[in-house]
Amino acid sequence: MTAGSSSDVAALLRRAADDAGAVTILCHMRPDADTIGSGLALGLALDGLGVDVEVAFPGPEELPAALRELPGSKLLVGPAHLVGQPVAVSVDAASVARLGALDAHFGAAEHSVVIDHHASNPGFGDIDFIDPAADCTAELVLRVLDDMGVELDVDIATCLYAGLTTDTGSFRWARPESLRVAARLLDVGVDGRGWSRRLFDTHPFSWFGMVSQVLGAAQLDRTACGGEGLVYAVVDATALADLSWEESESIVDIVRTAAEAEVAAVFKQVGAERWTVSLRSKNTVDLVPIARAHGGGGHRHASGYSDAGPIDEVIARLRDSL
């Protein structure tokens, strides 16, 4: 693996375009707006240059409804129909494990590229363009597109904007560069108001009942984390009922507002005794080593991992590791 720059990635993709080549773009499991937005933006740009493009994410979860409305979703291919092209690009995946079963396509490519902004990313491609100083992978894709000389259109800009606004919490923790990029994308014609509503402010009515149940049972452990406090909630299969999996993703943004706790956790049931854990911290606690200790990864103030077993044991394991 080689630490690479946006211009290294741009040169490789420019060669693919000049040779009428083919590129596979891989997004991470439990796909969010940054991985899909980054993948589709890059896919649309390459498609416009005559490259044969396929974009995919691993199952079993389906694409969140809001992301199905993104331009370029026609480029998405189900895992079973993926060809696996000579150039493979992983977007927003913090490790090869986040590609699930699609890792085989990444490993089999003649040229593999990692574009990501997770601090925990060890690098797993032939070219690793990883910048933890970026708020989102979409910004890194934009740097590649700029280096390729691609002119932004509203469809590409919309996909980038979806990743940007999601990974900055609607710009709440956006760095100056992210706001400059946002202005540029809005100038191209992105419907910022509409995408905020679709991405953050739209839920089925039954989401209210799930939130009520889950928050009503949330726990505050003031002594955890060296006295800095842990607040947590559990979204089990019963609570989620027939809601789509992505409806549980917003819970952590409510739970983390508890004034009494530095760390917030949401345990989401994904199987009989299988859980994904979302972690958030406010100031002092760096979540990267904690998530890594559980086999996961992420950012300083937002990370996650998977665990298995009875929920009481899963919670205890987290508490003991803080």
Give 165 or 306: the residue with its C-beta nearer to Mn ion: 165
Nearer to Mn ion, 136 or 270 (CB): 136
CB closer to Mn ion out of 40 and 239 = 40
**Binding residue for Mn ion (CB under 5 A) from 167, 249, 262, 307?**
167
Q: Select 34 or 128, whichever has its Cβ closest to Mn ion.
A: 34
136/159 with CB nearer Mn ion: 136
Taking the C-alpha atoms of residue 189 and residue 102, their distance in angstroms, rounded to an integer, is 34
Q: Does 135 bind Mn ion (CB under 5 A)?
A: no
Residue 34 interacts with Mn ion (CB under 5 A)? Answer: yes
Task: Provide the residue count of the chain.
Answer: 322
What sections of 64-135 are H helices per DSSP? 65-68, 103-108
d(CA 234, CA 236): 6
Q: Does 92 bind Mn ion (CB under 5 A)?
A: yes
Q: Is 249 in the site for Mn ion (CB under 5 A)?
A: no
**Site map (CB under 5 A) of Mn ion, residues 204-233, x = contact:** ------------------------------
Residue number closest to Mn ion, CB atom: 34
Side chain identity, residue 313: E
Q: How far is CA 237 from CA 63, 220, 240, 274, 297, in A?
A: 19, 22, 5, 11, 24
CB of 132 to Mn ion, least distance (A): 11
Q: Give CA 170 to chain center in angstroms.
A: 15
What's the closest the beta carbon of residue 24 comes to Mn ion, in angstroms? 20
Q: Where are the alpha helices (DSSP H) in 91-225?
A: 103-108, 137-148, 154-167, 176-188, 192-200, 206-216
Residues that bind Mn ion (CB under 5 A): 34, 92, 136-137, 167
